[in-house]
Every structure is written in structure tokens, then in C-alpha cells.
Amino acid sequence: MILIKHGLIYQNNVFIKQDVLIDNEKIVEVAPNIDPTNQKTVIDAHDMIVVPGFIDMHTHLREPGYEYKETILTGSMAAARGGFTTIAAMPNTNPVIDNLDVINNIKHLIEKAYVKVLLYSSITKMQLGKELVDFSELAPSVIAFSDDGNGIQDETLMKEALENAKAVNKILVCHCEDQKLIPRGASLHGEKSIPSSSEYEQVFRDLNLVKEINTRYHICHVSTKETVALVRETKKNGLSVTCEVTPHHLLLCDEDVFIDNANFKMNPPLRSKEDKEALIAGLNDGTIDIIATDHAPHSVAEKNQDFDKAPFGVIGLETCFPVLYTNLVLKKIITLNQLLDALAYKPSVIFKLQSGIDIGKNADLTLINLKQKQIIDSSLFYSLSRNTPFNGYECYGVIKFTIVDGKIVYKGDD
């Protein structure tokens, strides 16, 4: 049993001083004063908020095939340190997660993870954009379908994928990128290599298909003001369209890029200040539903190459909350409630997961000291990789405990 005493718990969109008692994976009591006598473990949370565990619906755990970048175990450790209790792993592994054999081969790795790990299946076999996977066979074993890293180029195939996903009541989670609009041979970072139009033109195409088929659809890592406007208008028309934004796209723009530092190279690229402001506005007004890290680990050697040769991607599990709390909440750009909802409540609603501090629910909780300060130090990361643009940032908001199914899976330094 675990008793959390004196914490400010986040429940029904308000903070209230309550104790929380956990037993056998579940929350069994929430009350103003629970007697600590005979409790196995007591956490004094007088300087902490107690919130539903964060959910990251967009991570790359690299296993199988790229274990030198990250593994399911190390990625889950990084997630726990970042306050995440559930993460979803994209299928761009080697082999690609596109059949039951691959899924069955990694189930034992997921069982050893520190947090709950959900799997995506790819939309197309080997993520080649040519032939659809067997949706009906894979649906019971995966949270959703995504070819993240690749946009589906063929409109007819995309329509068929949306119809298949609807038939099995799953969401297509789509990386939108029209390859025809990307200059041949482009490898440098930014608008010249991956123009905004490559994102929003494919979003426009997909939204028309979603309207025709009337199914659910989720857009990965939105980065342009045009995409925000399209989603906003689509939601007004009542379609089941949702989207996500990353911490780096909320906090950084092309003006922040150091061209000699490939830790600022990601896809989609950092865009204009105007785009960044549109993303924040979209998060504020509910157009953008959730925050997802797009945790994309690479080795130090890979990221130490010249900017144009280095792989795309940055990590985010261990920096997400403190950088956003410090740079958005403390600056009164968004509220703490909005941040917590985007990290926990809304992902649970969209993907039909559990979240909340209520009796009978699984005890997936994150305890945070909002007043404690830290310096982001990538050398201390639990992740195998170090490729963050936020190294050296001074932040408030330190994760003190992460609890998954009633077990403490991370305890920060006192």
C-alpha cells in the first residue's frame, strides 16, 4: 500500500488538498486526512502537486533493430523520469511493426518496461506506402495505425486505409508530408528543404477524405499555421479530427536554430515565429488537442555529423514538462490546467485510455514540485540518447515520483 499525504491533487479541473491511498494497483481512497498508521509506504507530498500520469502518444523506442539508439527498457525509464506513465511506440523499427509475429516477439520486452507501452502498427507493409497491413488481424494488439515518418502519398490508398481503420474502430495517426512538394535532394533543415505546403496540402487532402468517409483521424506533430487553420475549421464542422503538437514546435522557431548543432534538426522542421504563435493559439483554443514529444533518439555520433547529413529527430520524454511549464505556464501563455489536460486527460479521451484520480482507477500518478529548479543536463538522461535542443535550460517543475499501477517506478532526488 502507498499513502500520499498532504499533496495538492488535480481532480475535476481543480487542485484540492487531499490524501490518496493506493492498494493492489488501484486508488482505494481519496480523502482530506487518511491515517498513515500501518501503511507500508507514506509519501509526504506537502510541496507537490499530484496529477494523473502523463500519456505520450508519439514516441520512438527503436527496438527492435536500433537498440544502440534506444530500447524499450531505456525509453520507458526516460518516460518514468519525465512523469509519463503510458507511452505509445511508433512502428518504424527493423523489422517494421506490421504483423503479429513482430508484436509477439517484443511482448516480453514490454512486460519488463517501467511504464505502460502501447504499440502502433504501420498503415502499410514495411511502411513503403504500397500495400495496406491486415487491419482486422492487428487491431486487437495495437492502439492505432501510423506510418509516422512517411506520409501516405497515394490518395486512393489513403482512402482505403481510412475505411479499414473505421471498420476496426481504430484511428489513423498520420505524418502528413507530400513528397512531391519537397525539393529533390533537399537535406538541409527548414523551409527550403521541407516547405510548409508539404504538410498542409496533405492535411487538406486527408480532411476531405475524412469528411467523405466520416471516420476518426489524428495528425502528428502539427507545425504550420495553415494546418492549425484547417483543423480549426474542420472541428467547427463536427468531424472527429484531432491533432498533436510537440514541445519543440511550441517553444522554438527557425530563428533559434544553430546550423552547427544537429540537435535542432527535426521533421517537421522548426518553422517561423508566426507558425509557432499559431501553434500556441491552437493549443489555447482547443484546436490542438494534445502534446506529444515525438521522442526520436539518435546516437551522439549520428548527431555530431554535419547538419545536412545528421538524421532528423530530437528526444523529449525527460524534458517535456519542465520546459513547457517554465516557458508557457509561468509566463502565463497557457494555464497549468491546459498543460495537464494536454499531457494526460485529452490523450486518454482520444485513445480511450484511463486517466484521473478517482477511487477504483488504476494508480497511474505523477508527483511534481513546481517550485524546485533544475538545469537540463543531457548527460544525466536515462535515455540512451542525448539529442535535445534544451540542454542547459534552467527550468522549474521537477518530477519527484512516478507511480504506475500502484508501484513507484521513479523517485527523484530529494
- Give the residue numbers marked as catalytic: 294
Supply φ then ψ for residue 342, to 5 degrees: -70, -25
Q: DSSP 3-state assignment of 377?
A: coil
Identify the sign of the CA torsion 264, 266, 272, 276. negative
Q: CA 132 to CA 275: how far, in whole Å?
A: 33
Residue 155, φ and ψ in degrees, nearest 5: -65, -40
Could you list the beta-strand ranges (E) of 182-237: 217-219
CB 202 within 8 A of CB 129: no
Spatial neighbors of 194 by CB under 8 A, at least 6 apart, are 177, 182, 186, 267, 268, 269
CB 25 within 8 A of CB 405: yes
Distance from C-alpha of 201 to C-alpha of 196, rounded to nearest angstrom:
8
CB 57 within 8 A of CB 99: no
